[in-house]
């Protein structure tokens, strides 16, 4: 059973992962049906830009310190239900200033809530700060400086890949690299191989968020393999944003068979109505994946996690033990 497997989650957006429970707590007038209608996207969106319009609903509710805390703790409950051993949680702090919070307050609040969530659930987690494609250069650089100030686990760029070039974000990634901050970057989702090449050239990330359209260029696949650049693959999200017409048409099995380093992730749990348990079960049903596939992907996730080596060593041991001796994972 997929629900019994321990999992690593490297790609999940905090502000796109509000359960109906926490939404109702923050807005008691929003019942389950209204939640489904306004926060969850249809199974097939026009494209990434259409998909991202749903993110605004969650962000609107996350404009106070208490709301940020509750949403973060709610995500830990979801991770626990998915039997996650380690997670990296990302969000764009500059999206949460409308209620009067300063950027530093936003990051501090979420960082504190991550520590609280870890204490409650036993799930260690790293925090990644995102700049967004539509940001000005100053906003992007400010986000990188926040990542430095709070010594978070990593730095990322998300948003409308097709609508905005890389130019405004080169300085931010240079700053992150200069300060030793690990970087990942969304690419190869709304656009193809050329976008991934551009992202690699200008941002030099260790990982690529999504990256699934690398299959359009065999030379790029070879490059990613040789450089051991990890792909954070989110199957349901990719189908929903129309990268692929159906799950059966997804290239995740081809990516795996090619020898690329990849992990399976939920991305935006609210918008996609996704869980890791569901992602794993879909890969079983559609591609015939079994425990060997999932163990390999989780070990790759640990290898490429922005986490201390001591933590990684413990995660590897727990994964191997759980897969070799099936049964409840003890925290």
Average pLDDT estimate for 305-330: 86
Question: Is the pLDDT at 328 greater than 80, yes or no?
Answer: no
CA distance 307 to 153: 7
CA distance 214 to 211: 6
Among candidate residues 75, 88, 76, 6, the one with its CA nearest the CA of residue 315: 6
CA distance 229 to 314: 23
**Phi, psi of 228, rounded to the nearest 5 degrees:** 55, 45
Q: Which residues contact 43 (CB under 8 A, 6 or more apart)?
A: 239, 240
CA distance 285 to 253: 12
Instruction: Please report, in angstroms and rounded to a whole number, the separation of the first and last CA atoms in the chain.
Output: 19
Looking at CATH, the fold of the domain delimited by 2-324 is given as TIM Barrel (3.20.20)
pLDDT of residue 180: 98
Reported as a single tens digit per residue, the pLDDT across 99-134 is 999 999 999 999 999 999 999 999 999 999 999 999
**Phi, psi of 263, rounded to the nearest 5 degrees:** -135, 165
pLDDT of residue 324: 82
CA distance 238 to 301: 19
Average pLDDT estimate for 219-237: 97
Confidence of residue 330 (pLDDT cuts 50, 70, 90): very low
What residue ranges do the domains of the chain occupy?
2-324
Residues 140 and 93: beta-carbon distance below 8 Å: no
User: Taking the CB of residue 141, how many other CB atoms lie within 10 A of it?
Assistant: 21
Q: Name which of 44-53, 127-136, 185-194, 225-234 the model is least confident about.
A: 44-53
Q: How many residues does the chain have?
A: 331
- pLDDT above 70 coverage of the chain, percent: 98
pLDDT of residue 331: 38
pLDDT of residue 45: 87
Confidence of residue 1 (pLDDT cuts 50, 70, 90): low
Residues annotated as part of the active site: 189
Question: Is the pLDDT at 286 greater than 50, yes or no?
Answer: yes
- pLDDT above 90 coverage of the chain, percent: 89
Q: Which residues contact 66 (CB under 8 A, 6 or more apart)?
A: none
Give per-residue burial for 33-60: e unless 16+ CB within 10 Å, then b.
eebeeebbbeeebeebeebbebbebbbe
Residues 133 and 189: beta-carbon distance below 8 Å: no
Average pLDDT estimate for 132-161: 97
pLDDT of residue 311: 98
Question: Is the pLDDT at 326 greater than 70, yes or no?
Answer: no
Reported as a single tens digit per residue, the pLDDT across 35-71 is 999 999 988 888 888 888 888 999 999 999 999 999 9
């Amino acid at each position: 059973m997929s629900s019994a497997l321990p999992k690593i989650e490297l790609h999940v957006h905090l502000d796109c992962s509000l359960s109906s429970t926490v939404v109702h707590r923050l807005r008691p007038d929003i019942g389950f049906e209204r939640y489904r209608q306004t926060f969850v996207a249809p199974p097939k969106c026009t494209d990434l830009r259409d998909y991202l319009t749903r993110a605004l609903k969650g962000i609107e509710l996350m404009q106070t310190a208490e709301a940020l805390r509750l949403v973060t703790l709610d995500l830990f409950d979801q991770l626990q239900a998915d039997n996650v051993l380690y997670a990296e949680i990302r969000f764009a702090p500059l999206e949460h200033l409308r209620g009067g919070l300063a950027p530093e307050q936003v990051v501090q609040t979420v960082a504190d809530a991550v520590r609280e969530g870890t204490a409650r659930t036993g799930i260690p987690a790293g925090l990644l700060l995102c700049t967004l494609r539509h940001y000005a250069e100053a906003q992007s650089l400010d986000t990188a400086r926040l990542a430095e100030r709070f010594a978070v686990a990593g730095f990322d760029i998300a948003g409308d890949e097709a609508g905005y070039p890389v130019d405004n974000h080169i300085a931010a990634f240079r700053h992150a690299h200069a300060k030793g901050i690990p970087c990942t970057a969304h690419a190869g989702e709304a656009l193809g191989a050329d976008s991934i090449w551009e992202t690699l050239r200008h941002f030099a990330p260790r990982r690529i968020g999504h990256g699934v359209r690398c299959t359009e260029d065999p030379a790029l696949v070879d490059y990613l393999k040789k450089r051991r650049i990890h792909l954070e693959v989110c199957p349901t999200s990719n189908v929903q944003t129309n990268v692929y017409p159906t799950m059966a048409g997804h290239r995740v099995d081809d990516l795996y068979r090619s020898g690329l380093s990849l992990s399976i992730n939920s991305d935006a749990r609210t918008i996609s109505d996704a869980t890791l348990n569901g992602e794993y079960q879909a890969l079983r049903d559609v591609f015939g994946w079994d425990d060997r596939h999932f163990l390999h992907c989780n070990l790759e996730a640990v290898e490429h996690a922005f986490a201390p080596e001591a933590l990684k060593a413990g995660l590897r041991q727990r994964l191997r033990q759980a897969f070799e001796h099936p049964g409840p994972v003890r925290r």
